[in-house]
Every structure is written in structure tokens, then in C-alpha cells.
Amino acid sequence: MRAQLIRVATEAEAAREASRLIAAHINAKRDALVTLAAGFTPLAAYQELVAMQSRGEVDLTSVRYVGLDEWVGLGENDEGSCIFTMNGAFYQPAGIPKENIRVFDGTAKDICAEAQAINAYVEAIGGLSLAVLGIGMNGHVGFNEPGNPLEGQFSLTPLSAVTQAAGRKYFFGNAAPKTGATLTLNALMAAKHSILIATGAHKREITKAVLAGESSLPAAAFLNHPGAVYIFDAACCP
């Protein structure tokens, strides 16, 4: 294993570790292209980052951000969409200028063209420099589902039953969309640094499988990545 493994006692410590690493990356690389997961796991880390910025420890506005993924059919006004979550949890409190944020619009008329536009954007910049990822219940990262390799930098993808079921929590228990759009595993693996986070007892089984290196799991693909850091709390990695 070439990746680094950080195991901490609590979810709050996991957030502090993640925010420390993200801030260090942003401070060192002013031209970074960063992508941040919009699930529940890293939200506390984003809160830490905003607090760090208010103490003058990092300038979060100095880099560019590209949306990791989105539910097809949903846009920034839809509660539960990735951009709605990120606007509330990070982009707005951190004061990120609009021109520094590029996201897939799940409400676009031509979603294929929209996905291609994100693909071209990432290619034109020369790829990601930092990916902050939450590990899904089935070992997905972004919407890269196990056993469904995607091409290019950004792609549309059918979502697995597990992801749709887990996704209900973002929509007050209502059904989640069946299609997603995501930065591909190739694009994420090409980032110089990546941070993969899992916390909570409900992620214990999948964390075990990831650490066992189950080859079908996108989250396990980073185990041999020298720039990857996995952060687990004791509940998911006893």
C-alpha cells in the first residue's frame, strides 16, 4: 500500500485532519483545480476550512473548483442536489467567486453536451490537483459505481440500487434520481493528491472491503496511489 492511512478516534478529528490537508494543498498550489464531494461525510471538514479562512490560515478563494458529481435532473435550486449542498456548506460561506466554480448542471436540456463541456474544462486545465472524496456505502467515489468503468474525465452514469437507496437521505426520504454525472475514476486518480474519508459504524463493512483491496471497488483503487490519504474514524475502522 502506497497510500497513507490516518485513523482517528472521532468524526470531528477526521474533519480536522481532512481540513488540515486540504488547506495545506491550497496554500501550496495557487493554481489548483480542486473537487470536493458533496455527501454528508466531509461537510464538517468544509466548516473547519471556513473557520480556518476566517483566522487567516488559508485563502480558499485562490483556487478553482469543479463539481465532483450531480444527480441528473437536479440543479442549484433543488435541495439535495450536490450544488445546492456545496453552495450552502462551502462555496457561499467561503466566499468563492462564481467564476472559480464550474459544475455540471443537471437541469441542462442537453445533458450529454453539458457532460462534454465539463470534460473539456477539466482537460483544458490539465486535470485535477486535489480530490476530496467520501466513500459510498458500495465503495463508490463520486458516482463511479463498482463494476462500471467510465471513460474520459466526466461522464453520465446509471446509478446502482445501493446508491439510489443511500441517496434518499439527501431528499427527505424521497426517491433519488436514477442517473448521475461524475468526474471519472481516471480523472480522480490523475489528481496529484486525493483524500478519501469514511466515518461511522454504517461504513464499517465497506471500509473493511476497501482496505482488503477488493478490486471492483473504486475507493480501493487509491490504495497504491502515492498521493492518496485515507481518513477513517474508529467507528468505521475499529
Residue ranges that bind ligand F6R, judged by CB under 6 A:
37-41, 68-69, 82, 134, 136, 140-142
- Residue 50 or 165: the one with the smaller Cβ distance to ligand F6R is 165
CA distance 116 to 160: 22
CB of 117 to ligand F6R, least distance (A): 19
How far, in Å, CA of 130 to CA of 124, rounded? 16
Asked whether 205 and 171 are in contact (CB, 8 A), the reply is no
β-bridge mates for residue 4, sequence order: 229
DSSP assignment of 109-157:
S-HHHHHHHHHHHHHHHTS-SEEEEEPPTTS-BTTB-TT----SSEEEE
Gap between the Cα atoms of 104 and 74, Å rounded: 10
Using the minimum distance from each CB to ligand F6R, give the nearer residue, 26 or 181: 181
When the beta carbons of 60 and 86 are compared against ligand F6R, the nearer one is: 86
For the bound state, the minimum distance from the C-beta of residue 56 to ligand F6R, rounded and expressed in Å, comes to 29
Closer to ligand F6R by CB, 27 or 148: give it: 148
Q: Residues in the chain, how many?
A: 238
- Residue closer to ligand F6R by CB (options 33, 141) is 141
Q: In whole angstroms, how close is the CB of 133 to ligand F6R at the nearest point?
A: 6
Nearer to ligand F6R, 139 or 227 (CB): 139
Pairing label, strands 4-8, 228-233: parallel
Q: How far apart are CA 48 and CA 8, in angstroms?
A: 16
Shortest distance, position 196 Cβ to ligand F6R, whole Å: 9
Residues forming a β-bridge with 102 = 66
CB within 8 A of 98, min separation 6: which ones?
none
